[in-house]
Amino acid sequence: MLGPLLAAIRVPRPGGGRPRTRPVAVLADKAYSARGHRAELRRRGITAVIPEPADQAGHRRRRGSAGGRPIGYDRTAYRRRNVIERAFNQLKAWRGLATRYDKHATVFHGAVVFASILLWLRD
């Protein structure tokens, strides 16, 4: 689902003009450390801030020079990922969002937007 997610990104520019469609970097956890994800981000010119799981690093080291270079990522940028994780945890406090009671995607999207606005106003 990484491809469709990246294709749906539209960030409006403050002074008008065409919206931005390519983020500078993608911060993700170790579950997104697949070769396909990294290749897609590299193809689009996006920096991947994704650590390598221990099992993948072991496989790479076991293959020796054929395993490729170790994965590098910005550790200080990766630390900021917890802000997103905390936001998701606050949204999951809403029982209707956590269990997805809504049958239609548009209603669920509206509930997410409404809950996000209320959380934003609370802070």
Find the helix or strand (DSSP H, E) in which 65 lies: none
User: Residue 1 pLDDT > 90, yes or no?
Assistant: no
Domain count, the chain: 2
43 and 65 share one domain:
yes
* Model pLDDT for residues 95-123, shown as the tens digit of each residue: 888 888 888 999 999 999 999 999 999 87
pLDDT of amino acid 88: 87
Rounded alpha-carbon distances, angstroms, from residue 58 to 50, 55, 67, 71, 108: 17, 5, 10, 12, 41
Domain containing 99 equals 80-123
CA 77 to chain centre: 13
- Segment 14-31 shows an average pLDDT of 89
Residue 83 pLDDT more than 90?
Answer: no
Percent with pLDDT over 90 in the chain: 29
pTM of the model: 0.70
Given a contact cutoff of 8 angstroms between Cβ atoms, the answer to whether 51 and 79 are in contact is: no
Residues 13 and 37 in one domain: yes
